[in-house]
C-alpha cells in the first residue's frame, strides 16, 4: 500500500504553481549540479514501513529533495537531520547524499507536509491542503506512536491532520498527547537559519529523537497492558 501511495504522490500535479516551479528548477539547475539529472517531481516519504516515529518536515528543498528525489537528501538541513538520526540510532549512516547511497532508517519514517519544492520555500495554504491527504494516508498505514514536527509549519500541519482545535502551542521539545492517537513532539527546523545562529544545536536535535524513542516505548508498553 505504501508503494502504491508513493506512485500516486510522484504523479501528482494538483498545484499548478508548484508544478511550474519544481520543473523550472529541474531544467535550469544550480551551477554546482549542472551535470546532474534533477528529479523535478513530488518527493514521497522514506523510511521503515513499521516505524513508530514519523518525522514531518516542511517541503523538499529546490536543489535538495527536488534534485535527488529523496526527502531531506542533498541539502544542509538534511546533513543536520541525518547526522542526528545516526547519533540516536535511527539511521545506519550519518549522511544522505543521493537516493542510492545505502542509507537505511530504523523505526522511523520521514515525509513533508508539502511534497513539491515551493518558491522561496513558502507553500500557500491551499497547497498544503492539497498535499496533506498524502500524509494522512501514510499515518493510517504506518500508525506511528510519535509525530516529530520539524518547525511550526509542520506542527500546524500535524494539528490539522489530527483535527486539533484549538491548536497546542509549538516549541522545541513541546509535547502534546492526543486521545488514542500519536504524540506530537516539536523541534526547531534544522534550517541553516536556525543552525548557523545557534537557535538549534546538535544536542538539542538529538534530545528530540531521544525523547521520541522514549515516548514510542511508553506507547507500546501502554498498549500491552
141-151 in b/e form (b: 16+ CB < 10 A) is ebebbbbbbbb
Q: Residue 225: what pLDDT?
A: 47
| pLDDT confidence bin for 95, thresholds 50/70/90 | very high
| pLDDT at residue 110 is higher than 50 | yes
CB 185 within 8 A of CB 208: yes
Q: Which three three-digit cell numbers place residue 52?
A: 513508530
CB 86 within 8 A of CB 31: no
Q: Residue 219: what pLDDT?
A: 77
Q: Residue 180: what pLDDT?
A: 85
End-to-end CA distance of the chain: give it in Å, rounded: 30
Q: Beta 53-57 vs 146-150: how paired, if at all?
A: parallel
Cα three-residue angle 135-205-155, rounded to 5 degrees: 35
CB-based burial label for 98 (10 Å; 0-12, 13-18, 19+)? middle
Q: Beta 146-150 vs 46-47: how paired, if at all?
A: unpaired
| pLDDT at residue 223 is higher than 60 | no
Say whether 187 sits in a helix, a strand or coil. strand
Amino acid at each position: 500500500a505504501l508503494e502504491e501511495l508513493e506512485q500516486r504522490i510522484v504523479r501528482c500535479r494538483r498545484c499548478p504553481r508548484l508544478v511550474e516551479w519544481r520543473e523550472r528548477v529541474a531544467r535550469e539547475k544550480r551551477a554546482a549540479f549542472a551535470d546532474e539529472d534533477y528529479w523535478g517531481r513530488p518527493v514521497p516519504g522514506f523510511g521503515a514501513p513499521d516505524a513508530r516515529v514519523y518525522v514531518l518536515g516542511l517541503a523538499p528543498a529546490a536543489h535538495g529533495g527536488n534534485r535527488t528525489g529523496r526527502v531531506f537528501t542533498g541539502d544542509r538541513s538534511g546533513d543536520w537531520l541525518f547526522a542526528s538520526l545516526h547519533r540516536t540510532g535511527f539511521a545506519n549512516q550519518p549522511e544522505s547524499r543521493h537516493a542510492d547511497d545505502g542509507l537505511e532508517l530504523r523505526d522511523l519514517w520521514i515525509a513533508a507536509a508539502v511534497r513539491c519544492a515551493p518558491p522561496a520555500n513558502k507553500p500557500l495554504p491551499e497547497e498544503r491542503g492539497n498535499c496533506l491527504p498524502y500524509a494522512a494516508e501514510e499515518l493510517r498505514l504506518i500508525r506511528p506512536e510519535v509525530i516529530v514536527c520539524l518547525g511550526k509549519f509542520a506542527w500546524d500541519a500535524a494539528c490539522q491532520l489530527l483535527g486539533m482545535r484549538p491548536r497546542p502551542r509549538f516549541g522545541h521539545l513541546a509535547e502534546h498527547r492526543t486521545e488514542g492517537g500519536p504524540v506530537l513532539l516539536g523541534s526547531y527546523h534544522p534550517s541553516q537559519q536556525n543552525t548557523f545562529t545557534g537557535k538549534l544545536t546538535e544536542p538539542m536535535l538529538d534530545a528530540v529523537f531521544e525523547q521520541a524513542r522514549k515516548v514510542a516505548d511508553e506507547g507500546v508498553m501502554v498498549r500491552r497492558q
